[in-house]
Chain A
Amino acid sequence: MNGVGIVSYGAYVPHFRITPDDIGKVWGVDGKAMGKGLMISSKSVPAPDEDTITISVEAARNMMKRCDINPKDIGALYVGSESHPYAVKPTGTIVAEAIEAAPDLTVADLEFACKAGTAALQTCMGLVGAGMVKYAVAVGADTSQGAPGDALEYSASAGGAAFLIGKEKVIATIDNTYSYTTDTPDFWRREGKLFPRHGGRFTGEPAYFKHVVSGGMGLFEKTGTEPKDYEYAVFHQPNGKFPTRVARQLGFAEDQMRTGLLVPTIGNTYSGAVPLGLAAILDEAKPGDRIFAVAYGSGAGSDAFDIRVTDEMARFGRDLAPTMTEIMANPKYLDYATYAKYKGKIVKGRD
């Protein structure tokens, strides 16, 4: 699309983890079996002083570290999340100040369940492609919520990634994008409510699978490509089994999606899921490699992307910020009581 693509990227995942086994013990559930079914061995947990803003800032700073562009050349910044700390007051203003991109830019927060980060990516592609801004930043980050004892508690985690979109020194062009959107109430959180609700099995076939497959097929049709044209594939990953199954349905082999599948060790990072998977792929992709990415957001919709790594990747400062492997290394495991305290699930006597 007019040479528009990723100029730099950065990621961040909190230091703490909890295992499904430890969660299950509290609720009288076989957590190990639950984890096996979900293909999740641990999930990331934000520290009490972390939220979507701090995660976005860390990811965006890692992104800036890998390139030498002047932050004042950034003309737009969007943060996609379903856990913005404020209902009214943008996450993006703090991120923009923290990377010294303010004040000459436009900023907004986006929300579309788990695909707000890729919606931000598309918005940035449009602005850069139209020549309205030189560079734009898209962040997808979340500290997702799962009600105590709910099935979501075994997967809902935290993390995020940031992408600098531009037309110069592009390490990966975004050659095409396709979205598929319907009104499907599979998962929601009402204003003022702490935890989301979901339709159980309804989140599967009519929601995740229908939209991810339709998004993927739509992109194949638009680009005239097929699975064998791509070295890597990454899908929204609410658990391990959904993306594994949808990859098979679309015709991808396991080795194409292995790099981008992070959910087994960090859980479902919601708006951060596909952005983090894409970051893991960019950590190792070579010039000429092609990446197929489909994000999914409940409510519901999918954003599919056809991305091609350029020769610029060989000159890119990939090592100037931590890779996903380094970010996910050496976590600290929490027991359920500490996890509940960190996540604000314990009602305190005073506020």
Chain B
Amino acid sequence: MATAPRFWRENPSRYNLVGFKCNNCGNHYFPPRIICPLCRRKSVGKIEPVRLKGTGTIFSFTEVHEGMDEQNMQRPYIVAMVELDEGARITGQVIDCDARDLSIGTEVRATLRKLSEEGSSGVIHYGYKFIPLCNGPAASENE
């Protein structure tokens, strides 16, 4: 099955939010890329992998009622664009809360959860999801 190595290649980003900083413009991005989408060839040789802290605010969010099979156990589930403290925007599921608990600007932190399973005998994929800080202790962001 091809998905196990495909996910495995992305583990540093999925587990620890490794993105990059363009040392030409100073912006942070996620996921990692070879060149800066803004500076393009001017960024060649100036791309630095950076571990993002995992704290940020909700830029926008939606409640999904008809989504992926993997998320049926949590339906309806919430997906948000999160603007991380470093400035990078990242899309992820927001968990352990209801949509009414959230608004644009709600502070969240990243945590590691199961993303999907390849059936009951296949590989389990883990990665980042977000929890609203108002839901629990603020101090345990991704570190």
Give A contacts to B, CB under 8 Å: 10, 12, 15-16, 47-51, 53-54, 57-58, 61-62, 64-65, 85-86, 94, 97-98, 100, 319-323, 326-327, 329-330, 332, 341-342, 351
Could you list some 12 contacts between A and B, CB below 8 A? A47-B74, A48-B114, A49-B74, A50-B113, A50-B114, A51-B114, A54-B113, A54-B126, A61-B143, A65-B140, A332-B96, A342-B73
Cβ-neighbour of B15 out of A10, A64, A97 (below 8 A): A97
Q: Smallest Cβ distance from B58 to chain A, in angstroms?
A: 18
Q: Is B57 an interface residue (CB 8 A)?
A: no
B140 / chain A contacts, CB cutoff of 8 Å:
10, 12, 58, 61-62, 65, 321-322
B129 / chain A contacts, CB cutoff of 8 Å:
49
Q: Smallest Cβ distance from B108 to chain A, in angstroms?
A: 14
Asked whether B74 lies within 8 Å of A320 as measured between CB atoms, the reply is no
Q: Is B137 an interface residue (CB 8 A)?
A: yes
Asked whether A327 lies within 8 Å of B114 as measured between CB atoms, the reply is no
Asked whether A100 lies within 8 Å of B16 as measured between CB atoms, the reply is yes
Q: Is B37 an interface residue (CB 8 A)?
A: no
A322 / chain B contacts, CB cutoff of 8 Å:
136-140
Cβ-neighbour of A58 out of B73, B111, B138 (below 8 A): B111
Which residue on B lies nearest to A331, using beta carbons?
A: B136
Bound Cα distance A85, B139 (Å):
27
Asked whether A326 lies within 8 Å of B74 as measured between CB atoms, the reply is no
Which residue on B lies nearest to A63, using beta carbons?
A: B143
Q: How many of B's residues come within 8 Å of A, CB to CB? A: 27
- Main SS class of interface, B: mixed
A48 / chain B contacts, CB cutoff of 8 Å:
73-74, 114
Bound Cα distance A48, B138 (Å):
22
Q: Which B1-58 residues have a C-beta within 8 angstroms of A?
A: 11-12, 15-16, 51
Inter-chain residue pair count (beta carbon < 8 A): 82
A54 / chain B contacts, CB cutoff of 8 Å:
111-114, 126
Bound Cα distance A48, B116 (Å):
10
Asked whether A329 lies within 8 Å of B136 as measured between CB atoms, the reply is yes
Asked whether A61 lies within 8 Å of B142 as measured between CB atoms, the reply is yes
With A15-B136, A94-B126 already in contact, 8 other A-B pairs whose C-beta atoms are closer than 8 Å: A53-B124, A61-B140, A62-B140, A321-B137, A321-B140, A322-B140, A330-B135, A341-B73
Q: Smallest Cβ distance from B61 to chain A, in angstroms?
A: 18
Give B123-135 as 1s and 0s: 1 = Cβ < 8 Å from A's Cβ atoms.
0101001000001
Which residue on A lies nearest to B98, using beta carbons?
A: A332
Bound Cα distance A51, B113 (Å):
8
Bound Cα distance A321, B137 (Å):
8
Q: Smallest Cβ distance from A268 to chain B, in angstroms?
A: 22
Bound Cα distance A53, B11 (Å):
14
Asked whether B15 lies within 8 Å of A326 as measured between CB atoms, the reply is no
Cβ-neighbour of A47 out of B96, B124, B136 (below 8 A): B96
Q: Is B90 an interface residue (CB 8 A)?
A: no
Bound Cα distance A289, B137 (Å):
26
**Given known contacts A85-B124, A98-B16, A65 and B139 CB-to-CB distance under 8 angstroms:** yes
Q: Is B95 an interface residue (CB 8 A)?
A: yes
Q: Smallest Cβ distance from B106 to chain A, in angstroms?
A: 15
Q: Smallest Cβ distance from A149 to chain B, in angstroms?
A: 22
Q: Smallest Cβ distance from B120 to chain A, in angstroms?
A: 5
